Structure formats: structure tokens, C-alpha cells
Amino acid sequence: MQTPWEHRYANRLKNMGSSVIRELLKFTESPDIISFAGGLPAPDVFPVEEFAEACNKVLKEQGPSALQYGTTDGYLPLREMIARHSLRYGINITPDNVMITSGSQQALDLLGRIFINRGDRILVEAPTYLGALQAWNAYGAEYVPVPSDKNGMITDALEEALRYGPKFIYVLPNFQNPTGVTIPLERRMQLIELADRYGVPIVEDDPYGQLRYEGEHLPSVVVLDDHYRGNSHTTYHGNVIYLSTFSKILAPGLRLAWVVAPPEVIRKMVMAKQGADLHTATFNQYVAYEVGKGGFLDRHILKIRRVYRERRDVMLGALDSYFPAGTDWTHPEGGLFLWGTIQEHLNSTDVLKLAIERKVAFVPGESFFPLGGGKNTMRLNFSNASPENIREGIFRLGKLLQELGESDKPKMAGSTLPAVVA
Ligand SMILES: Cc1ncc(COP(=O)(O)O)c(C=O)c1O
């Protein structure tokens, strides 16, 4: 039924429609479901005590300024701390290269505001982070997908895609959301060289790079780009805009993230942010600084890695034990997700409907492809369920896939929806 509001909404809302998958995922929030669907960090690793202490200290010692409006680019000591912390990962920058955003999600939106005209093409990995597509759909972006394999974006296919004249390349080199895969060094170099040759900037989204459970840290694209240009100065002026966040290394409820970019891009993003929210919550920035200064972040990251490594291993072990023939999955070296491919003839959105009946959930892979595809794929999150629940959930999913494989129906049209969905 038409409501009196219908004709008032802006055209851009047409690109923000609700999807079957989003409707289905609402059911995964019920507490009796073992959900591998969200991208949530484990609440047991939130440093609650440290936050309690820091809040008290900030209020006692800096109360009035912590509760006041702040600058749009962010609290300087926090930006300085980020510049110091980044250096540990080889990112050599000054606070002029850094701005604070209300989550990396806001940074993606601000990039849309400053770069994307309706119809502009963005080169993305297929599959890619759904939140970026949601942010940029509002600005009328179109997508040039580049296929990926177990080593991430297939850079050999990049040159052809670059001929479409994209505004920028969006890439998640470490433990990608949704696939969990990592782009190796040679492909990173190829990416930088091609982007430079075609004069196309790179947006590197890296929420998970610090959460590595095995293997050697690989230099970020921003670091490689800096070296490629032979820059000896410390203020970065290269071709990459780098995003990272406190969501996965401290707590997502803070809504605190940062952008590293050439100062002129930072200035434009700051202008755009003024119109969005003036600045990120001052109090949260003071508290994050208080918690993070003095080396706590490094210690805390070690703890998170321990907890998530175990969960990843439990999930990989359970997949080995319970998933039937004809299925396959990635082996992420870090991050929060792995990517499953199920039997060719199955459609994972249909499988999700049945899985919800058995109280287990995942995200169908299809949602992460900007132009469709991936019907028989799924994203599985391993950070937010206990090891016992991971084993049980994968057991249930494996049994379901086994049964569906045996029944060998070409399609599951007419499969029973949970009553509420239907
Ligand atoms: C690839 C990627 N980018 C950005 C975000 C948004 O993070 P934030 O909580 O900082 O907004 C996420 C969150 O899961 C993500 O996976």
C-alpha cells in the first residue's frame, strides 16, 4: 500500500531497497540460533575494565574538554598515537595524513561524497565488502568487478577492468571481508604499478590487517606505494587512501576509525565530514587515546589473536569433519571470516531458509557480488561464536548440506520458508 510518504523520498532511495537476504538475516538475531552471519567481534575480548578506568580518568582530569565540541579532523593526541602505531606496520606518516571518522563505514561514505558522481565506475573485487556497496550506491556508483581467487583480486584481470576508466580501485588486501583471503606481495605490487600507469587511486580498506594468526605480516598497499614512489619524507603524498578502525581491535561500539591519505584528500574529507556530523564523539576519542596509549593496544591485539585463532581452527576442523564432498572453503590467515563454496546445484539463499529452521545461520555469498554471482557460496564468521557452538553449528550445516546433496534436487524451489518469512 502506498503511504503519504512514498512520493517524497529522494531518488537515491531506490538504490537502497531491502533484499530477501536482509529480511532473512533478521531471523539470525534470535538467541537460540548459532549465527555465523554477523561480522561481530567477540564481546569477551572487549577491554571493559580498561575502559571503565579510562572513562573515570578522562572525566576527572579533562572532563570539560572531553565533553566539548572538537575539531573535525579529530583529537590530535589520538591522531599522533595512530601515526606512531601505524609505523609499527611500516606506515610512515604524520598526523597531517590522519583523520578520525565515526567508523570506517563513515569513511566509505565520505569517499562517496567527495569522489563519486552519478554513473562513476568503481573497480571492486568480486566478491567485496557489502557495506561499501551500500555506501556508494547512494551516490549512484556503478561497479567494475574484478574476479578473485584464493589469493584475492586476480591482478591479471585488472588491466582490462582499468580500461573502463574507474574513479578508484577498492581493495581489501588482508583477510578480506567476505572471503578471508589475502593478496600476496606480487599481486600488491602489480596493483600499485597498474594503478599508477592508469592514474587511478586505490582505496585500501584494512580493518583486519592486525589480526593475523599465522604467516608473516605483508606490507600494506599504502606502504608499498610509498616505497614505489621512493618517498623519503614522512608526510605521505601517494596514490592510496588507507582505512582502518578500532572496531576490531578495541570495540565497535566506540564508532572510531581513521583514514590515512595525502593531506589534500584529508582536507576534502574533513569538509565533507563537517556536513555529516561536525566531528566524531570527543569523549570516545579521549577515552580511546587513554586506553591505547602506553602500549596497551599491542598487548590487547595479542590476546584477540589468541582467541580468534582458536575459533578459526575449530571452524576449519569442523568443516573438515562435517562438510560433505563437493564443498570447499578458504583457509584465512587472519580476520573474522571464511568463505564456503557448496555443491554446484545448490543455492545458498535457499539453504539459509532451511538452515534457519535448524537454528544455524550464515550470509549467502550472493550479497557480496555487485553484479550478481556466487549463488553457491556463503560467508561464515568465526569470531563471535564459542568453540562449542562453532562445532555444533558447522555440524548442523554439514548435515543439511549432506542431505541436500543426497536428494540431488537441481533446485529447491518451494522449500519451506520459516512461517514468519513466508
Ligand atoms: C571491510 C570493512 N570495512 C569497513 C567496515 C566498517 O567498520 P567500522 O566498524 O569501523 O565502521 C567493516 C566492518 O565490518 C569491514 O569489514
Instruction: Give the pLDDT score at 409.
Output: 53
Residues with CB under 6 A from ligand 1: 39, 103-105, 129, 131, 172, 177, 205, 207, 245, 247, 252, 257
Instruction: Give the pLDDT score at 26.
Output: 79
Instruction: Give the pLDDT score at 20.
Output: 65
DSSP 244: E
Instruction: Give the pLDDT score at 47.
Output: 97
As given in the structure block, the three cell numbers for residue 90 are: 611500516
Q: State whether residue 339 is helix, strand or coil.
A: strand
Q: Quick one: which atom of ligand 1 is closest to the CA of 247?
A: 9
Instruction: Give the pLDDT score at 152.
Output: 96
Q: What's the gap in Å between 396 CA and the centre of ligand 1?
A: 29
Q: What's the gap in Å between 232 CA and the centre of ligand 1?
A: 31
Q: What's the gap in Å between 58 CA and the centre of ligand 1?
A: 27
DSSP 312: H
Q: Which residue of 106, 247, 384 sits with most ligand 1 atoms within 8 Å of its CB, as the best mutation to test the pocket?
A: 247
Q: State whether residue 106 is helix, strand or coil.
A: helix
Which residues, 6 or more positions from 162, have their beta carbon under 8 angstroms from its beta carbon? 123, 194, 195, 198, 200
* Burial class of residue 207 (count of CB atoms within 10 Å of its CB; 0-12, 13-18, 19+): buried
**Tens digits of pLDDT across the chain (422 residues):** 778 898 899 988 877 766 666 776 777 778 899 999 988 999 999 999 999 999 999 999 999 999 999 999 999 999 999 999 999 999 999 999 999 999 999 999 999 999 999 999 999 999 999 999 999 999 999 999 999 999 999 999 999 999 999 999 999 999 999 999 999 999 999 999 999 999 999 999 999 999 999 999 999 999 999 999 987 678 999 999 999 999 999 999 999 999 999 999 999 999 999 999 999 999 999 999 999 998 899 999 999 999 999 999 999 999 999 999 999 999 999 999 999 999 999 999 999 999 999 999 999 999 999 999 999 999 999 999 999 999 999 999 999 999 999 876 544 443 433 333 22
Residue found under cell 571470516: 337
Which residues, 6 or more positions from 234, have their beta carbon under 8 angstroms from its beta carbon? 92, 93, 94
Q: What's the gap in Å between 11 CA and the centre of ligand 1?
A: 26
Q: What's the gap in Å between 130 CA and the centre of ligand 1?
A: 10
Quick one: which of 102, 142, 54 has its CA closest to 259?
102
Q: What's the gap in Å between 129 CA and the centre of ligand 1?
A: 8
Instruction: Give the pLDDT score at 57.
Output: 98
Q: Which residue of 46, 99, 101, 104 sits with most ligand 1 atoms within 8 Å of its CB, as the best mutation to test the pocket?
A: 104
